[in-house]
Amino acid sequence: MIDIFIFSQQYQVPEGLTILKAFEWAGFKLTHGVGCRGGFCGACGTVFRHQRDYRLHYALACQTVVEPGMILTQIPFFPAQHPSYDLNALKADGLTLLGIYPETLSCFGCNTCTKSCPQDIDVLGYISAALRGDLADLADISFDCIMCGLCVARCPAEIVPPNISLLGRRLYGRYLAPTAGHLHKRVQEIEAGTFQEAISELKTLTIGELKARYSQREIEA
């Protein structure tokens, strides 16, 4: 067992638990800040400290294992700038990004956003790409963003990097990315009913049979 602190209260929890499981072991019923538990949804962004260490640490609570002396808290949802737009009415260029998110120009390159990212994404790098109007680079660098919002919480310029990158990826995917030929072919096959017989068969299977079929499936390289 190890000692941790949740909302300044000391608890003993088993060593090896994730932060989320430690909260639950301590008796907290988590109804907010919990999602996939697999590091994909970004709902459990967490800030913590260690005793006698002035540094703040940033992580996803579902992936981070508790350590002795951790001082933990949950981060409540906070609103982020997210204006509405019609993607089909936009041009795929940097001026579009800056027109919708003009606060991007307030970035002064402190790199706090990158330091706070639990995915180790070069957040400042993709914000710099946005300022250059390089949508391809922005989309590439920000591809693994899970919208946890930790960079938003830490940005002294109060910009919203995840939403800026999301618009950039949408513009790149809608207008600039090469057409996926295999995807177009698969859509045509679906519309032609190529898989209808197989789908009808799957509907007749039991849960056990479906699980067995799933585990035996061929996986593309």
Based on the fold, state whether residues 109 and 168 are members of the same structural domain: yes
- Does a structural domain hold residue 80? no
Query: Residue 42 is encoded by which pair of tokens?
Result: 């970004």
- Does a structural domain hold residue 81? no
HSE (side-chain half, CA atoms, 13 Å) at 183: 3
Which of 40, 72, 104 is the endpoint of a domain?
72
- Does a structural domain hold residue 31? yes
CATH number at residue 133: 1.10.1060.10
Which residues have C-beta within 8 Å of that of residue 59, sequence separation ≥ 6?
A: 19, 45, 46, 48, 118
- Does a structural domain hold residue 108? yes
Residue in the block written with tokens 């800026």: 164
Q: Domain of residue 48: give its range.
A: 2-72
Closest C-alpha among 130, 196, 206 to residue 162: 130
HSE (side-chain half, CA atoms, 13 Å) at 26: 26
Tens of pLDDT, residues 4-61: 999 889 999 999 999 999 999 999 888 777 888 887 888 888 889 998 888 888 889 9
User: What is this structure's pTM?
Assistant: 0.73
Say how many domains are in the chain. Answer: 2
Residue 193, pLDDT score: 95
Residue 77, pLDDT score: 66
DSSP-H helix ranges across 85-202? 94-100, 112-115, 123-132, 135-141, 150-154, 161-171, 181-191, 196-202
